[in-house]
Amino acid sequence: MTKPIATVSRTRDIMTQHQLDFKKSLGQNFIIDANILKKIVDRAEADENTIAIEIGPGIGALTEQLALVVKHVYAFEIDQRLIHVLDDTLKNYDNVTIFNQDILEADLQAFIKENVKEGQSVKVVANLPYYITTPILMKLLMDRLPIESMTVMMQREVADRMAAGPNTKEYGSLSIAVQYYTQSKVMMTVPKTCFMPQPNVDSAILQLKRREEPIVKVHDENLFFELVRTSFGQRRKTIKNNLQRGFKDRLSKEELQRLFGEADIDPARRGESLSIEEFASLANTCYTMLEV
């Protein structure tokens, strides 16, 4: 029986056979522990009715474990060198399709419409490249795709920030953006020893389950997210100071004072102390004031 791809010996053999080296610029760290990958597939609650979208399959270690369980895996790989490698390592699986494409440029709305039948569930399962984790997840969330969940491995620190609550040092605009659209939970930590080459930091598996509706109702999403980002502009400063700087062309000092009064929020607080509901109240009050 062939060893899983996610072993030290198989990974080395594949790298040698195809004369590959690891591209640091693409954040390539290949996982060498098949048990971790099986846990990811298990935590994703993937089954024979699942259409899995994978991002950055590398040499196919996670793709292989997914293919053993799901209906079909569609994997997006940006590195041209790895396409013929994946054709080789996954040749025994007829339920895998590889695209040599940057996920940030893919029209996933049209792709899902074309490839997913009614009744099938779409799940993103991936070991995301560290250098581009946040842009990828924000694209998947903001494009409002019919994706049931995302179970993704990423840098531990980024996972903690995405799942963080108010009054923690990890909590920020990224936490709010992710939690606006999803319920987020860090499922487990993955030590750096599980990768080749070893990264400098540990990883974590984060699961994001899409909410049917965003957690709060806002009149203008762009204004809401702008206000959130501005409130965290300088973490040590109060929301009053941050908003005074960021909204100076739109709100006078008097109007800003009225904004805090009407939203019933103390302007001396810092952004990290506000819940997502309080940010929504602030944004909706601000929207009404700017509309008048």
Instruction: Indicate the annotated binding residues for S-adenosyl-L-methionine.
Output: 29, 31, 56, 77, 102, 127
Instruction: Compute CA distances 142 → 43, 57, 172, 181, 274, whole Å.
Output: 24, 23, 18, 8, 22
Tokens coding 195: 């990768």
CA dihedral 109, 174, 161, 205 (to 10 degrees): 0
Tokens coding 128: 């995301």
Tokens 């924000």 -> residue = 138
Decide if 54 contacts 219 (C-beta within 8 A).
no
Binding-site entries? 29, 31, 56, 77, 102, 127
Q: How many residues does the chain have?
A: 292
Where in the chain does DSSP place strands (E)?
Answer: 30-31, 50-55, 72-76, 96-99, 121-127, 149-155, 182-190, 195-196, 203-210
CA dihedral 79, 84, 88, 89 (to 10 degrees): 0
Helix 221-231 to helix 276-291 angle (10° resolution) is 120
